Amino acid sequence: MTTSVKDPFSDFRTNVLGTMNLLEILRMNAPEAALLYSSSNKVYGSLAGFQLTEESTRYAAPDHTSGVNERAPLDFRTPYGCSKGAADQYVLEYARTHGLRTAVFRHSTIYGGWQHSALDKGWVGWFYMRALAQMKNPLTEPFTISGNGKQVRDLLNVEDAVSCYLEAARQIDRIKEEAFNLGGGSANSCSLLELFGMLVGMLGITLKFTKLNWRYENQRFFVEDNSKITRATGWMPQVSREDRASRTLAWVQEASDP
């Protein structure tokens, strides 16, 4: 998202024009192919109509305990949200207009092995890396977070994401022309402060960090309601919270070791 603010035209060219090129190639040459598009929770914007409460370690949405479903109004924010949202809608429209076998998945946070994180992408792995750096060298400079650390996302392990896409491909004729929210769900929701608490417990260290201003259009709460894709395909997340933490730590440790 931060890159899209700095260079919105490149973001447009990649997400909108790139998707249009693919849709046109499929329409003209492979209309029977299945296209599963990875969209974003940013298409829902700031969820201005959601009433949030601030708790000790997180924000909560008491009126949406199961999370955000697909009936939430689209409200594209940031250049990234606009480009992903535009492509999201084109993918659905090509199913309606041209009969392509397409479906859309609106993601929250995917994490896990082989995700090479950086400051503005792959935030779960990024904070694991920062925690390991502080464990190896207590004099390491504190890392930074945007906001107060209570912002919440639902975390979907990459193994669960892959299994969903494979099942969706097998059942493409059942789900075509539809958009689905896809995330870890309420059971796998986590704030930054809660993630840091897990890292402290696993590594036995005290994390040092400083707080910056909120990022532009950073949602304070976003948790996916997966019930639509579950009803359509039977898919549900399988990786537990405990496995999630230990597997990610093992991967980041292995990737970080020289």
Residue partners of 41: CB distance under 8 A and separation at least 6:
68, 106, 107, 108, 181, 183, 219, 222, 224
The DSSP 8-state label assigned to residue 46 in this structure reads: T
CB–CB of 61/242 below 8 Å? no
Residue holding tokens 């890292």? Answer: 199
Helices (runs of H) and strands (runs of E) counted in the chain: 10, 11
| Dihedral sign, Cα of residue 158, residue 160, residue 164, residue 170 | positive
Residue of 37, 44, 59, 80 marked catalytic: 80
Whether 111 is a known active-site residue: answer no
For residues 22 and 35, what is the distance between their CA atoms, to the nearest angstrom? Answer: 9
Half-sphere exposure (CA, 13 Å, Cβ side) for 56? 1
Catalytic residues: 80
